[in-house]
Amino acid sequence: MAFDSNLFKQQFPLFQHAENARLVYLDNAATTQRPQCVIDAMVDFYTRFNANTHRSSHRLARAATEMVERVRGQTAEFINARNSDEIIFTRGATEALNLVAQSLCKTLNPGDEIILSSAEHHANLVPWQMAAEAHQLQLKFLPDVNGEPQLSALPELISLRTKAVALSAASNALGFRVAVESIKSLLPEGCALVVDASQRLAHDRVDVQAMGCDFLVGAAHKFYGPTGIGLLYGRKEILAQLPPWQGGGEMIEQVRLQDSDYAAAPHRFEAGTSSLAAIAGLGAALTFLQQQDRQGMATYESHLNRYLHTELEKLSLNFPIRLLTRFDNNVGIAAFTVQEQAGVQVNDMADWLDQHDIAVRVGHHCAQPLMDSLGGASLRLSLAAYNNREDIDAVIAALQSMPLENVTTVELATDDSDFGDDLQGVELQQLVAQGSWQKRYRQLTRWAARLSRKPAIRVDHCRVHGCESEVWIAHRCHEQRHYFAIDTDSRVLQGLSVLILLLLDGKTAAEFDAVEVEATFAELGLEKYLSESRSNGFRALVDFMREQIH
């Protein structure tokens, strides 16, 4: 029997709520939704046997301890570890990678080398940077083609000083799989292979023994489990040699005033009280996945991913997007940027999709070196087994309906000419008169054309912090009246900037303070329809202007 996505989706209560009846959720690479069984398991822990684990003789503590060790065994089976003692529970994949980087690098010598790729999530980059600085280590990076690390170049990078290779098994930003299974045989003795499998565990069967890795990390919330719990696999022989990362309760055998003896792995690396309810939820998520037809799920997701990329490729023929991803060897992620002549940014497209109750992710996706090399922020759509073709059709239809009037702007050459955008004929009533959010959005995009480009003010002291997109504001005072020049590449923020100028430009300080900007914003319904980050960005602009005046 073929995998049934509709039956699968029915097990997720979020989709059954009336407020989510139209929701198209395509942000699964950030976090998946939870099936009812995961929620039930967490509630069951709190309502039936909530207690701290280990070192206690009472019944509730024994039940909690048995649950934790049972889930540890489940996790070992899920990734085919040899022993449950090779599984360490952390708060997430990020904490797991910090643990590995800090503990492993304590055993290295100055000048030893760590090999990474430029495609890594910040969680598999920044901890190594910190450890390298602390221990005088060298970081080396695989070359890439369109962001994909070229494993064929690995032998040229390896030396006798290479002590770790740390790579993602799949890119969270672009979705491509990395053949980490082929790496271990290339490494010198004593060189650890560290694998971030966060984006693979929901889509592929992962076998740490077949992979040959020494460490592997994952986060439960990426594969239908709860937030706040991650897993770290470490080969038993290596864990026995590593010093602990954090100190405290549970990770010791004997404590004296001057020193301590540490517990064996895995408890040596689990200082303090773990997120016990989340561990119960992880166990339920593993059972849930093991009850599914994993091969059928993978086939379904692969076909859906092909459809997603095919539709986006067709859309790009007459819509100003540039697709960054390919269907083949991809875990279900599509990402695109916008063409320069579009006059909009990916943030604008994400806002437009949000108005249609379509959840996507926009930005650098915690992979800034990778995305900077490809031109900056992208809009990412990421699939799970509860998605379907109707979801993709909704995305395409919404993008096709987005107003993309041609925008022509004038670049002004001097600092003085940056002030005084031509807003003749622009009136607040034009926005008030629009009867729906879609019409007001179109009015804002029409206003955007009135905001000229101002390269002279794109300097650090004019940059506004707290905005989703980059915005610059310059200020000058003439005869006690305050004038502002605003520049941004975001189409929506350009329109909002015109609104701000209508309300506040050319005012005295007293007149500026008397304008009820927040009230106008609310009356126009903008707070209801703009994303929270975009609304906060609007306030950041006003606050920045107020600081210049006072």
pLDDT in tens, 2-12: 899 999 999 99
Mean pLDDT of the residues in the chain: 92
Dist. CA 220–CA 335, nearest whole Å: 23
pLDDT band for position 411 (cuts 50, 70, 90): very low
Indicate whether 42 pLDDT > 90: yes
Query: What pLDDT shows up at residue 492?
Result: 79
177 residue type, one letter:
R
Residue of higher predicted confidence among 538 and 291: 291
Dist. CA 276–CA 451, nearest whole Å: 54
Q: pLDDT digits over 471-497, tens only?
A: 999 999 989 999 999 998 887 788 888
Residues paired with residue 196 on neighbouring β-strands, in sequence order = 168, 217
Average pLDDT over residues 4-33: 97
Q: Which fold has domain 5-26+293-400?
A: Aspartate Aminotransferase, domain 1 (3.90.1150)
Q: Which fold has domain 416-549?
A: Sufe protein. Chain: A (3.90.1010)
Q: Is there a contact between 394 and 357 (Cβ–Cβ < 8 Å)?
A: no
CATH number of 37-290: 3.40.640.10
Average pLDDT over residues 322-346: 91
Dist. CA 217–CA 229, nearest whole Å: 11
Dist. CA 72–CA 66, nearest whole Å: 10
* Residue 37 among the catalytic residues: no
Indicate whether 151 pLDDT > 60: yes
Residue environment code for 394-430, b if the CB has 16+ CB neighbours within 10 A, otherwise e: bbeebbeebebeebebeebeeeeebbebeeeebeeee
Q: pLDDT digits over 242-277, tens only?
A: 999 999 988 999 999 999 999 999 999 999 999 999
Report how far Cα 475 is from the mean position of its chain's Cα atoms: 35
Indicate whether 408 pLDDT > 60: no
pLDDT band for position 455 (cuts 50, 70, 90): confident
> Where are the domains positioned within the chain?
5-26+293-400, 37-290, 416-549
Average pLDDT over residues 165-185: 97
Indicate whether 407 pLDDT > 80: no
pLDDT band for position 409 (cuts 50, 70, 90): very low
Query: What pLDDT shows up at residue 127?
Result: 98
Average pLDDT over residues 420-430: 84
Dist. CA 10–CA 309, nearest whole Å: 26
Indicate whether 414 pLDDT > 70: no
Q: Which of 105, 191, 213, 366 is catalytic?
A: 366
What percent of the chain has a predicted confidence (pLDDT) above 90? Answer: 75
Query: What pLDDT shows up at residue 530?
Result: 62
Specify the pTM: 0.83
Indicate whether 114 pLDDT > 50: yes
Range with the poorest average pLDDT among 373-382, 406-415, 444-453:
406-415
Average pLDDT over residues 380-405: 94
Query: What pLDDT shows up at residue 532?
Result: 66
pLDDT band for position 57 (cuts 50, 70, 90): confident
Give the phi and the psi of residue 453 in degrees, each rounded to 5.
Answer: -75, 140
